[in-house]
Amino acid sequence: MSTLSDLLYAQGRSTEADVEWLHRLAGDGQLLADLAFADIVIWVPTADDSFIAVAHTRPSGAATLFYRDIVGDLVRPQWRTQVTDAFTHGRIVDSASPDWFEETPTRVRAVPIVRETAIEGRAATIIGVLTRHTNLGEARTPSRQQITFNDCADDLFGMVASAGFPDLAAPTSPRRGAPRASDGLIRIDVDGIATFASPNALSAFNRLGFDDELEGESLIEVATQILPAARQFDESLPIVMAGRAPWRADLDARGVTVSLRTIPLKDHGTRTGAIVLCRDVTEIRHQEQELITKDATIREIHHRVKNNLQTVASLLRIQARRTHSDEAREALTQAMRRVSAIAVVHDTLSSGLAQDVDFDEVFNQVLKLVAEVAASPNTRARTHKTGIFGTLPSEYATPLALALTELVTNAVEHGLKDSEGDVEIVAERTDERLAVKVRDTGVGLPEGQVGRGLGTQIVRTLIQGELSGTIDWHTLVGSGTEVTIDIPLRYIAKA
């Protein structure tokens, strides 16, 4: 199914500002559907003077009318006149009589979606139409909560038609556990006095330590009673609880955390009150804190592992300098280089929250390490990297860094020994595989003869055993050597 942006741009009539506005409105589609106890559909005009559905939200507390997805469908004939009227004249249009949809009586309301303009003096722009489809087949005497929810929905629909909702000043990307209408709703007047509180909202405040009724109380005074005197609290909390700004805040007391979201209600720019959504997010915040603690612990472990590996590398370097055997010195130097290559990966992991690393950054450090250690006084090697490795999980990054360290080192030490030449590393990544080629312009080896040393064995073990990949050496006498590595990435996709 096409995304909202794809559908909007396909019509060729929406600007970037329109797309952002409609994304904001669609993001609150669930709130509107739950308050109205109805399906909410967003329509935008097409090139042939019709309308196409770009977003649809079903109510969580009522029966839906649309059991099949209608996003991407053109407006039906029985709604077209009503939707066109709302779009053309910029007014809310209600159906004159019950509309029948698949043998179910419904009531339809068409609301023009009006976007404010940033240019002073320029009139607001009508960019689409929102329709509310209420199922009348399950009509029953509405409760006080349902009446209040519907009143709140009507207020928001009026704001949609006057460019007052959504509010671009409201924060985007809400934290996990953002409150919904069903979690708890409080309606306050312009003075911040609660005129209605749903049972779930009252329960949330009771858990915070407020034992009285919320209706008739000032939310700011309620928060003053709940919060411990010595505890610091979010500076935005009074503004949120007074209903003055479309912000979010957390209320913490007695080991309970309640997330609050305020939506100011306005009538043509004049504030008339606010909706305050609340949700007990104590367990969610505890889980988030545990994740933060675990992330910090993991980063500290990577940092200590990196320090320990660097210490081991330093000890190997000291031992190599003091040994009198050329063979032993070479073995210790190679061991030092391998340990340092692994340390580079842990250094990168210690600086971020994710257990994924930017392998291009890692490999650039590995190349510097190899150039410093592998080149002899009579060897001049120029290293080049083309292509992008991309981001890899740590279980891929460590063996790949070590394997490439061995291959580049071999190319410098053996392929370009006592000469001048180039070592080129070419990376080619797709969604399914990562191919890497290491080429040098050295003397090469006889075709079919591959080194049998420890380095070659390490590379084979890492590529074939650790990464489930393949490796192949192509050598031509006098033309250098090319090593090809192919690593499947399907395991990353599954993860």
Print pLDDT tens along the chain (495 aa).
457 887 777 777 778 888 889 999 999 999 999 999 999 999 999 888 899 999 999 999 888 888 888 898 999 998 999 999 999 999 999 987 777 777 778 899 999 999 987 655 456 789 999 999 998 877 677 889 999 999 999 999 999 999 999 988 777 655 567 889 999 999 999 999 999 999 999 999 999 888 889 999 998 888 888 887 656 666 778 888 888 888 888 888 888 888 899 999 998 888 999 999 999 988 887 887 777 777 777 777 777 877 887 788 788 888 888 888 888 887 887 787 778 777 777 777 676 656 678 888 888 887 777 766 555 666 677 788 889 988 888 788 888 888 888 888 877 777 777 677 888 889 999 888 899 998 888 776 655 556 666 777 888 888 888 888 898 888 765 677 888 999 998 766 444
CA angle 132/136/138 to nearest 5° reads: 125
Q: What is the pTM of this model?
A: 0.65
Q: Which of 4, 7, 140 is nearest to 62 (CA)?
A: 140
Asked whether the beta carbons of 484 and 472 are under 8 A apart, the reply is: yes
Q: Which of 100, 87, 101 is nearest to 51 (CA)?
A: 87
Max alpha carbon distance in the chain (Å)?
A: 100
Q: Which of 333, 340, 338, 353 is nearest to 307 (CA)?
A: 340
CA angle 259/245/211 to nearest 5° reads: 40
Phi, psi of 446 (to 5 degrees): -55, 135
Phi, psi of 489 (to 5 degrees): -110, 10
Range 33-54 burial, b when 16+ CB lie within 10 A, else e: bbbbbbbbbbbbbeeeeebbbb
Handedness of CA 383, 386, 387, 391 (dihedral sign): positive
Question: Cα separations (Å) of 260 from 208, 250, 293?
Answer: 13, 6, 25
